[in-house]
Amino acid sequence: MSGMKTTPRRILTRCLLRPADVQPQFERFEVIGTFNPAAIEFDDGVVLLVRVAERPTETRQRYVALPYWNWQRGGVAIDWRRKDEVEPIDPRMVRIKSSGQIRLTFLSWLLVAFSRDGFTIDSFGEKAFLPANRYEAFGVEDPRLTRIDDRFYFTYVAVSEHGVATSLASTADFKSFERHGIIFCPENKDVVLFPEKIDSQYVALHRPNMQSHFGIPEIWIARSPDLYHWGNHRRLLGAEVAWATAKIGGGTPPIRTDRGWLTLFHGHARPDAGGGVGEYAAAALLLDLDQPERVIGFSPQPVMVAEKEFERSGFLPDIVFPTGLVRREDHLLVYYGAADTATGVAQYSLSDLAASVTPGDWSIFRRENVFGEK
């Protein structure tokens, strides 16, 4: 199957933003990541919402610093825990031994960045999107931007002791923001909105985070009358993507093409025996314009893998995580997180990406894969 298609080649790749390019938001903190950017056309250029991760610079012998947003006081705080009280999971998180609770070693917020040509950052916005409530105490992460009518809506991940939820916010100018609250309860993330209504309803892709281990986390699709209340949930894509052995999830908000709704999704491969988090790659997915619940096809192999040095080396190596897609005539600019450290942009031919998709009746595959039926 993999020999039937040619993997699209990048026309251009550029590292847009590194931690050293951004000043920390909090006193006595350092920026360790500027990644997983939302991106959309704005004012004859591109605007990005970049996730910025910070950690405390202070160290204490035999203690680990666990930062959080004190939503009652409206500021950052640090929970100092003895190292023998916690169990490291990976560079991102630890587990409290007494309770089993997972805590992050950093705190994330969102930075506005502007680019006239789409390949270089010209300026930053004046207002940061900071955590603001109890559901965001461990940070706000991984936004996705969609223009609907005259406003820019973005989903983002809200992390707290109450779980990983997806919230919605919007803006008209990227100078002020309006929060609309949680739209997908824990555990759910990777929510991307379609840019227009279909059958008078809004449509979103989302990724429930299964803890029962009956299967790998998959992409689902849902509909809403108002962007706030979601239902008609259906499973969309999962085990068909053979190379994503750990999980898959939504990546970029879909764009309309002649062949269907085109989006990039990410897949996570299980780490080998050597440990580590494992590789993240991306592939193309094509959905029916009038019935987006119907999968026209997807790339049987990744169209984007970690290959540049800034993608192979970083806070978590070998990760490309696409989160924004901007169309420039017959080309696409893909904005993505690299190694959980930097923001990159890659240019592809639209026709090449669309041609990487293998069509087929994937509903048959689902029945055979899960139940062994013919």
Q: What is the pLDDT of residues 57-94, one digit of tens each?
A: 999 999 999 999 999 999 999 999 999 999 998 888 99
Higher pLDDT, 369 or 62: 62
Predicted confidence (pLDDT) at residue 109 exceeds the cutoff of 70? yes
Question: 170-174: long-range contacts at Cβ-Cβ below 8 A with a sequence spacing of 24 or more?
Answer: 174/42, 174/47, 174/112, 174/125
How many other C-beta atoms lie within 10 A of the C-beta of residue 157? 23
Least confident among 77-91, 167-181, 273-287:
273-287
Average per-residue pLDDT for the chain: 92
Predicted confidence (pLDDT) at residue 236 exceeds the cutoff of 50? yes
Give the model's confidence band at 270: pLDDT under 50 very low, under 70 low, under 90 confident, else very high.
confident
pLDDT at position 350, please? 95
What is the DSSP annotation of 154-199?
EEEEEEETTEEEEEEEEESSSSS-EEEEEEEPSSEEEEEE-SS-BT
Give the model's confidence band at 5: pLDDT under 50 very low, under 70 low, under 90 confident, else very high.
low
- CA 372 centroid distance within chain: 33
pLDDT at position 61, please? 94
pLDDT at position 273, please? 60
320 close to 228: Cβ distance less than 8 angstroms? no
The stretch 257-286 carries a mean pLDDT of 88
Residues in the chain: 374
- pTM, whole model, 2 decimals? 0.93
Domains of the chain by range and CATH?
A: 2-371 (2.115.10.20)
For 96, 145, 283, 337, the CA distances from 264, given in Å and listed in that order, are 36, 14, 5, 13
Give the model's confidence band at 212: pLDDT under 50 very low, under 70 low, under 90 confident, else very high.
low
- Find the angle CA(190)-CA(5)-CA(288) to the nearest 5 degrees: 50
The stretch 286-298 carries a mean pLDDT of 97
Whole-angstrom distance, CA of residue 305 vs CA of residue 307: 6
Predicted confidence (pLDDT) at residue 369 exceeds the cutoff of 50? no
pLDDT at position 145, please? 98
The stretch 48-65 carries a mean pLDDT of 97
pLDDT at position 361, please? 54
Q: How many CA atoms lie within 13 A of 85 on its CB side?
A: 15
Predicted confidence (pLDDT) at residue 364 exceeds the cutoff of 50? no
Sign of CA dihedral 81, 339, 235, 362: negative
Whole-angstrom distance, CA of residue 48 vs CA of residue 324: 9
pLDDT at position 374, please? 35
H or E segment and range at residue 362:
helix 362-371
Least confident among 51-55, 104-108, 191-195, 360-364:
360-364
